[in-house]
Structure 1
Amino acid sequence: MNILSESILSVFGPEGAKQAPHVRKLIRQGVWQSHTSGLASDHVQGNVVILPQAQANDFLLYCQRNPKPCPLLAVSEPGEAMLPSLGADIDICSDLPRYRVWRQGEVVAEPTDISSLWRADLVTFVLGCSFSFEQALLEAGLSLRHIAQGKNVAMYRTNIQTQAAGVFHGPMVVSMRPMKAAAAIRAIQVTSRFPNVHGAPVHLGDPALIGITDLDAPDYGDAVEVMADEIPVFWACGVTPQAALVQARPAFCITHAPGAMLITDLFNQQLASF
């Protein structure tokens, strides 16, 4: 049993850890405040960006122009905290383990509930997350070191620029999983089936070619070792909007904390394209 499994089992129990509503309930109660990799592994997880309506159209266009790092799963009506297309009881104010509150492009707080900050003009965007294709990788017999070691996935800002929309622009963020060459080829085949959660990798091999200077120092998440017989494999990441927020500097917005995702009632297989 790996470290993450032990911590999950101690909180959720063997069956509860698999059930999205049960996981959300304990997150809502503040029992679980860590990353969600490995939780409710059959279910779609989502990155979250919450913006005032005045910036929502620009951000919607940003997502449409950059579907690889920003695949849209749902967009709320202004002021609507529920997301019925993703889960009947989802409340975006309380159902993430940890949030980030941003002011003028800087993180000023990381609460576990944002009910006191909710406003009638806020629009919620939920974007696909690579945690959703990890179950397919595991079922294909591919090991994932960050899960085995109980860590958050390593994420890096790159020199790959996203296509701007209004005030939103900036570098693509990627998540990295080390694999042997044969496993990397298989991972491309597996993840290509899931374009709504980033799809196939955007880069394999030398990280310097995409502007990453030190794999041991991720910009978000936890570092994992790349063995001598492995190559780093990089997928587009839904933390990309947070890099864009640094550039756009909106007066106020809210996101998920990297790795602390919204767990939905959708099943990963529902998003498979073939």
Structure 2
Amino acid sequence: MTAPKSATRSVDTNLDDISRITPLALRTSIRRGEHTGTTTGFSSGYLQGNLAILPADYADEFLQFCSKNPKSCPLIGMSEPGSPHIPELGIDLDIRTDLAGYRVFRGSAEYTSVTDVSDVWRDDLVTFVLGCSFSFEAAITRGGVRLRHMDANRNVPMYVTNIATTPAGRFHGPLVVSMRSFAPGDAIRAILYSDRYRLAHGAPVHIGDPSQIGIADIMKPDFGDEPVINEGDIPVFWACGVTPQMAIRNALPDFAITHEPGLMLVTDVLAEAAEFSLQTSPKPNQS
């Protein structure tokens, strides 16, 4: 396992200021190399996305993996082969430059960390953008519940669990979770708020004892930063979009690109509007 990479906010601004930055302004700042850290707390109310970029001959299997594991892999966008653009997710959005950090895999579990993938882009690559829990964090904070990692200017901690995903073709692996700790009353409120956002992983997958899901030491996350846990806090665990990275490592495609954990694609799509559209979309006819 590669050591966790810290992804704290790269600009010295308060939470109210960063929450009001528009997605386009943030992506432009990232593209220019001005913002290099986590996107947690930024552009409040907009969908953020995890990234998985694969050769076209792996795309169908990965799409099936997402379909079978919607909790950890809620699909919010998919590109045409070779295109670095997904117009429905953003104006002037370029997948190659608009995340602060990428991981490039070349046929093994090892990867290279880069801040721009333009030089390695291929005509056969298909981009999948998967929902991120950062999108429901805004609802939690709007409800008056503080998030300890945001107050501490840290990336959310993430852990590999002993819960298996449902395999699809060559893709398989463990569920990865993100953790946020709360006082008991705030934990209930956070759970209720997050449950409204199915495109951002929805309700938690586990509450309480981390050892029950295979986490030996909660203070040593596999990704992200060390958690802030106050006395009496309850740890709450949500499915995490880093899960596909584990599946990609197991599938070992000849080439793949993912995001650095915590460094997300911030889209122009309003989270609540997307959830409303999902909930009110026509249902299949039933006989």
Aligned to 1:143: 146
Offset of residue 106 of structure 1: 2.2
Q: Which amino acid aligns with 1:261?
A: M
- Identify the residue that residue 181 of structure 1 maps to in structure 2: 184
CA contact (8 A) 1:100 1:257 kept: yes
In structure 1, how many angstroms separate the alpha carbons of the residues matched to 2:149 and 2:18?
22
Residue 7 (structure 1) shift = 2.5
Matched, 1:247 2:250: yes
Give yes or no for contact 2:11–2:35 (8 Å, CA) kept in 1: no
Tell me, yes or no, if structure 1 residue 258 matches structure 2 residue 261. yes
Matches of 1:164 and 1:124, distance apart in 2: 20
Q: In the alignment, which residue of structure 1 is the partner of 2:13?
A: 9
Unaligned runs of 5+ in 1: none
In structure 1, which of residues 68, 73, 91 is the aligned counterpart of residue 71 of structure 2?
A: 68
Aligned equivalents of 1:208, 1:162: Cα separation in 2:
18
SS of corresponding position for 1:44: strand
| Sequence identity (%) | 48
More displaced 10-residue stretch of structure 1: 102-111 or 256-265: 102-111
* CA pair 267-125 structure 1, distance change in 2 beyond 3 A: same
> Runs of 5+ in structure 2 lacking a partner?
1-7, 280-287
When normalised by structure 1's length, the TM-score is: 0.94
Give the Cα–Cα distance (whole angstroms) in 2 for the partners of residues 135 and 17 of structure 1.
Answer: 11
Q: Does structure 2 retain, via aligned residues, the 8 Å contact 1:18–1:42?
A: no
Distance 1:220 1:16, change over 3 A: closer
Residue 91 (structure 1) aligns with: 94
Q: Are 1:126 and 2:126 counterparts?
A: no
* Residue of structure 1 aligned with 2:200, choices 197, 200, 221: 197
SS of the residue aligned with 1:50? strand
Checking the alignment, whether the CA contact within 8 Å between 1:9 and 1:17 is kept in structure 2 is no
Structure-2 separation of matches of 1:20 and 1:127? 17
TM-score (structure 2 length as normaliser): 0.90
Partner of 1:40: 43
How far 1:209 sits from its partner (Å)?
Answer: 0.3
Does the aligned pair in 1 maintain the 2:18–2:42 contact within 8 Å? no
Equivalent position SS for 2:139: helix
Q: 2:105 aligns with which of 102, 105, 111?
A: 102
2:275 & 2:116 partners in 1: Cα distance? 32
**1: distance between equivalents of 2:140 and 2:18?**
21
Please say if 1:206 is aligned against 2:203: no
Quote the residue 1:238 is aligned against. Answer: 241
Partner Cα distance (2:87, 2:11) in 1: 30
Distance 2:27 2:19 in 1: 10
RMSD after superposition = 1.8
Deviation per CA, 1:30-56, whole angstroms, max 9, x where unpaired?
A: 111111111112211100000000111
Q: Write the distance in 1 (CA, Å) between the matches of 2:52 and 2:243.
A: 11
Rounded Cα–Cα distance in structure 1 between residues aligned with 2:117 and 2:34: 16
Q: 1:8 to 1:18 in 2, by over 3 A?
A: farther
Shift of 1:16: 9.0
Q: String of CA shifts for 1:91-121, please: whole Å, max 9, x gaps.
A: 0010000100012232331111101111110
1:17/1:23 contact within 8 Å kept: no
Superposed displacement of residue 5, structure 1 = 7.7
Distance 1:161 1:65 in 2: 12
Letter in 2 for 1:19: T
Task: Measure, in 2, the Cα distance between the counterparts of 1:6 and 1:52.
Answer: 32
- After superposition, what is the alpha-carbon deviation per residue over 1:178-221, rounded to whole angstroms, capped at 9, x for unaligned? 01121111111111100011000000000000000001110000
The residue type paired with residue 119 of structure 2 is S
Secondary structure of the residue that 2:86 maps to in structure 1?
coil
